Chain A
């Protein structure tokens, strides 16, 4: 298929339909409305598919839970304040081992914040977000093309491990228009998972539950989840690197911040500074081993995020004191320019006496 120009939000919608998403439930919130609208236009008319504009984000995630019970691919999307409301449902999805794709086109916070791009939901996304011991896989795309590609991957991974999965984008990625190519063709037949609740016909009845009165049983459920999380950590870590081979200073950035950092690094290279970048694509599981590997070559790291410093904790944990980690961030929806980041890189580069 030829490339088409599309905004990021719509690209997720198109990719989701091609990934076999049958149900979308959402509630309007800026800056992700184009996704909800895309599904209203394109998914609702597809045979056997459902689009509902729910009465709240809480309802939307619980509708996803219901559709996931029936064994079909389902998704919801929102932006930061709405994602906070969805946390209850995500916790239940995790506990019941139900796949679901949740898109967060993050905006400035806390509170109502701003409608501009931010990355301040990193902790919420990578630490589970709701109550209880659980994790969600978190994918962080940094272009419209990657939004589409990671959307297919999102449904596959979520189904494979039976865990809810968060696509952590931001308001800028959602709004920006770029060429995108869709490599998937929508499946001819609906995808229906095993172990779905579709009536006890020819088998014994099934129960999907989270509550038991015996704490030891709940502990065992947690162990079973964490054994799976361990497997995900071993198998599914994804990252990207940019000019790290000879780099004296490594910028660690994800999502749209990595796009901005890339511009800054290119300029820095022109000025003769040996700067590279490590870009985690899975934020959970975090590419800790890759960070340690890069630390064999240089001691100097600059974590750049559009928040007050959240991923930096994962970088520090990964390094276990092995490197020197600096931080630069803008937050609240302020979008830094590559030049601004270049100034930070230059200052750090010469302060540390790098050549």
Chain B
């Protein structure tokens, strides 16, 4: 029999430190699969953020540099402008991209920087222990919204993909989820397209990934994967939000 599914070459052998059922792990896996399939291992540079995924550099077998909280888009801008031959992606959480780094993200997108943002939206601050994120749903309980998020006090879950789609320099924005076999395959397709947009120098690309955080949602892994379908996608609908390429699938 033939081996048809194995560990990607550009994923180091190090076991993930992420919790069981975590969406970061799935995302790392499909990204490294793509890096292999698109033959990008020797030219891709990743910019992971502070947070759970700060250790992404222990897993991706590519050049990586840590960024300060929220500054991924600015760091990627400097790097890509200084060395345009590289494929540069930022890997950012919701606090990173949608709270502290909103300005960097919007302006990098508006300049049409040829970079790709991988935006992990799990509606919660993971590493700091489950505080409210800008994307926390209304009435969702977190350690800093112990009675549930109240729009009168904390405002509304922010929709970065829709905001960035309005910005002229963005080329491709899609929201996906990593909570089922079909959705994982779609997520991989979306990231492939985002990388292709960068290779074709079409401008800023972002894939927002609805990602389970069983630990901070206080659910079992399976429950957390279901919760995305049952609750989260109602606030954050999946699909292509902007695509200037006119093509449905990535080349």
Contacts and interface: CB of A to CB of B under 8 A. Distances in A.
Do A and B interact directly, with beta carbons closer than 8 Å? Answer: yes
Interface of A: 22-23, 25, 50, 52, 54-56, 58-60, 62-72, 74, 88-89, 92, 96, 196-202, 205-211
Which of A25, A62, A198, A211 has the most chain B CB atoms inside 10 A of its CB?
Answer: A62
Interface in B69-95: 71, 74-83, 85-86
A62 B104 contact: yes
A50 B114 CA distance: 14
B42 interface: yes
Interface of B: 41-45, 47, 50, 54, 57, 60-68, 71, 74-83, 85-86, 103-104, 106-107, 111
Given A25-B78, A205-B62, A62 B68 contact: yes
B100 to A, nearest CB: 10
8 closest A-B pairs (Cβ-Cβ)?
Answer: A66-B78, A63-B78, A62-B74, A66-B79, A70-B82, A208-B65, A55-B107, A67-B82
Given A56-B103, A62-B71, A200 B62 contact: yes
Contacts of B106: 55
Nearest to B65: A208
Q: Is the interface of B mostly helix, strand, loop or mixed?
A: mixed
A199 B79 contact: no
Given A62-B104, A65-B75, A66-B82, A92 B64 contact: no
Contacts of A64: 78
Contacts of B57: 207, 209
A69 B75 contact: yes
A202 to B, nearest CB: 8
A208 B65 CA distance: 4
18 contacts: A52-B77, A54-B74, A59-B103, A59-B107, A62-B104, A66-B80, A69-B82, A70-B79, A71-B82, A92-B68, A197-B45, A197-B79, A198-B45, A199-B85, A199-B86, A200-B42, A205-B62, A208-B66
A84 B62 CA distance: 33
Contact of A66 (B41, B43, B75, B85): B75
A64 B78 CA distance: 6
Given A55-B107, A69-B65, A209-B57, A201 B71 contact: no
A155 to B, nearest CB: 15
B78 A62 contact: yes
Contacts of B64: 197, 205-209
B204 to A, nearest CB: 14
B63 A23 contact: no
Contact of B83 (A56, A70, A92, A201): A70
Nearest to A201: B42
A7 to B, nearest CB: 27
A209 B54 CA distance: 9
Contacts of A207: 57, 63-65
A207 B67 CA distance: 12
Contacts of B47: 66
Contacts of A205: 60-64
A209 B47 CA distance: 10
Nearest to A55: B107
B62 A52 contact: no
A23 B111 CA distance: 16
B61 A70 contact: no
A196 B86 CA distance: 12
Contacts of B71: 58-59, 62, 65, 88-89
